[in-house]
């Protein structure tokens, strides 16, 4: 049960009748995660808790947003349940690794943004960053799906 998007050279744009690939927004990434978890819920006979769903959607949003803002755009997206874990992977064009920024600048002023990476790290069991052979990087967050994911939840 997974949902994969591939992006890159398509030989034509979506506007010119080409195939549109990959999530173009964090909302589309969240939709993909909802579909994967919904498939998993049907297979198990029950959905995950609202907190688990919320954590997964937030991580998907943050990874996608970071790729769009700092990585030159999303080049690949994958959401897959393996055992008791949800694997979310987002690739982009930038080799630089994500870093946590201090929320306060050197003058004591609060910065806007910079909190997404710590959120991803806090909500994930593991976060792996790997270089891609053709350039760019792939960030994979492993989100635990607790055994308690047995209570039916409406709206997934």
What percentage of the chain reaches a pLDDT higher than 70?
A: 79
User: Which pLDDT band, with edges at 50, 70 and 90, does 153 fall under?
Assistant: very low
Radius of gyration of the chain, Cα coordinates, nearest whole angstrom? 17
Write out the DSSP string of 78-137. EEEEETTEEEEEEEES--SPP-PPPSB-TTSPBPSS--HHHHHHHH-SEEEEEE-TTSSE
Which pLDDT does position 21 carry in this prediction? 52
Which pLDDT does position 2 carry in this prediction? 55
Q: Phi first, then psi: give them for residue 107, nearest 5 degrees.
A: -100, 5
Read off the pLDDT of residues 86-141 as tens digits, 9 standing for 90 and up.
Answer: 999 999 999 998 877 777 778 888 777 778 899 999 999 999 999 999 999 999 99
3-state secondary structure of 5: strand
Which pLDDT does position 7 carry in this prediction? 39
Q: Which residue has the tokens 């954590």?
A: 55
d(CA 109, CA 106): 7
């Amino acid at each position: 049960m997974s949902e994969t998007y591939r992006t890159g050279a398509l030989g034509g744009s979506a506007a010119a009748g080409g195939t549109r690939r990959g999530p173009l927004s964090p909302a589309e990434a969240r939709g993909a995660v909802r579909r994967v978890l919904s498939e998993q819920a049907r297979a198990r006979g029950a959905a995950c808790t609202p907190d688990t769903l919320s954590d997964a959607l937030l991580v998907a949003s943050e990874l996608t947003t970071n790729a769009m803002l700092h990585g030159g755009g999303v080049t690949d997206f994958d959401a897959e349940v393996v055992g008791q874990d949800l694997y979310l992977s987002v690739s982009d064009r930038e080799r630089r690794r994500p870093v946590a920024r201090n929320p306060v600048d050197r003058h004591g002023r609060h910065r806007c943004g910079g909190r997404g990476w710590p959120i991803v790290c806090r909500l994930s069991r593991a976060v792996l960053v790997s270089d891609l052979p053709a350039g760019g990087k792939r960030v994979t967050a492993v989100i635990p799906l607790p055994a308690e994911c047995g209570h039916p939840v409406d709206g997934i």
